[in-house]
Amino acid sequence: MSRFVAMVALAILAMAACQPAPAPEKPVNQSDNNPMQLKLPVGIEAPPPIPGDNPMTPAKVELGRLLFFDPRVSVDGNVSCATCHNPVMGFTDGRATSMGVKAQTGGRSAPTVINLAYATNGVFWDGRAKSLEEQALGPIANPIEMGSTHQGTMARLNGIPGYKEQFKHVFGTDDIKIEDAAKAIAAFERTIISGNSSWDRFQKGDASALSDSARLGWELFQKKAECIGCHAGFNLTDNGYHNIGVGLDKPEPDLGRYVVTKAEEDRGRFKTPTLREIIYTGPYMHDGSEKTLEDVVEFYNKGGNKNPQLDEKIKPLNLTKEEKANLVAFLKSLNGEGWQAKMPTSFPPDVPSK
């Protein structure tokens, strides 16, 4: 919490400094759909898919970065995307469930934004948004999250000359539209990529990159514990939805994917999250019900929470104390680089009141 206060304070200070908006970069050809040259860290196998109608350019990414961190996007000027997706905490907020404008809390935990560039099968815990572009439109108008209306936010941004200039440069019009803001934010999010973890280097042949414990944990992850059945591939997710029973023991459980599809088999299914940077993103699960990685491993060891739609891959694992510790050591080897230090140092200033 104190970190969050410090961040908001920093943002306000930065605005108060009233620095001029950065000079526009060279004009961007919007018909050019070549993705910007992203530097991909070790272990990240391919550049992320970029939607045809939202080519990635340096100026657009920069604008998205500003919008992501700027609290003026919310109704009371206090909440930015980064309030709940704070880079210091692995782009999450360290809370079980998130707190937005006027200290209201929602029912779900803020997932990390890291490596969502590779989420090709929907975002949100229940997958209700098809793309990052669609997702970004949500929180601004969510009464609990940022409490603004799209019109309200657009009116505010349209009153900030530095933003008008940048939107004109990136989108060719200085009439700021919410869809363009969402495109810029999504383009920025696609640059938040984590790789080059100890595990990646181990996979590339550096046998000393993992401790013995983490290496044994990796074995367990693939075999005895079968975590890889869902946390598969270089991003440690199958981009699928599974019922592992989290929260289903509550009186009024969150039914997850079912709420979106109304398909019986989707009851209690949630999106498989990436496990990259997992040490930073606790508490864990969609409801923040598991405090530590040790707790998560205990949860899987007992076979999740029993319910009629429990995924068949979830069953008691009979791990020894040592095996549990090894699994945790493996999870702790998944932090890498490529996503840190993304906070802007200044924002386009408000017009000073006369």
Structure tokens at 167: 């939107």
Q: Report the distance separating Cα 21 and Cα 353, nearest Å.
A: 18
Half-sphere exposure of 206 toward its Cβ, with a 13 Å CA cutoff?
13
Residue 238 contacts residue 232 (beta carbons within 8 Å): yes
Q: Report the distance separating Cα 132 and Cα 155, nearest Å.
A: 23
Site for ligand HEC contains 111 (CB under 6 A): yes
Q: Report the distance separating Cα 294 and Cα 306, nearest Å.
A: 20
Among 130, 250, 291, 313, binds ligand HEC (CB under 6 A): 313
Q: For the CB of residue 353, give the shortest distance to ligand HEC in the complex, in Å.
A: 26
Rg of the chain taking only CA atoms, in angstroms: 21
Give residue 282's identity as a one-letter amino acid code.
G
Site for ligand HEC contains 314 (CB under 6 A): yes
Among 196, 281, 326, 335, binds ligand HEC (CB under 6 A): 281
Structure tokens at 311: 């995924």
Site for ligand HEC contains 285 (CB under 6 A): yes
Task: Find the part of the chain contacting ligand HEC (CB under 6 A) among 17-25, 26-34, 268-276, 345-353.
Answer: 268-276
Q: Would you say 19 or 38 has its CB closer to ligand HEC? A: 38
Site for ligand HEC contains 79 (CB under 6 A): yes
Q: Would you say 202 or 221 has its CB closer to ligand HEC? A: 221
**C-alpha torsion 320→322→325→329, nearest 10:** -130
Binding site for ligand HEC (CB under 6 A): 68, 79, 81, 83-85, 98, 100, 106, 108, 110-111, 113, 116, 123-126, 132, 135-136, 139-140, 145-146, 185, 225-227, 229-231, 242, 244, 246, 270-273, 275, 278, 281, 284-286, 296-297, 300, 311, 313-314, 327
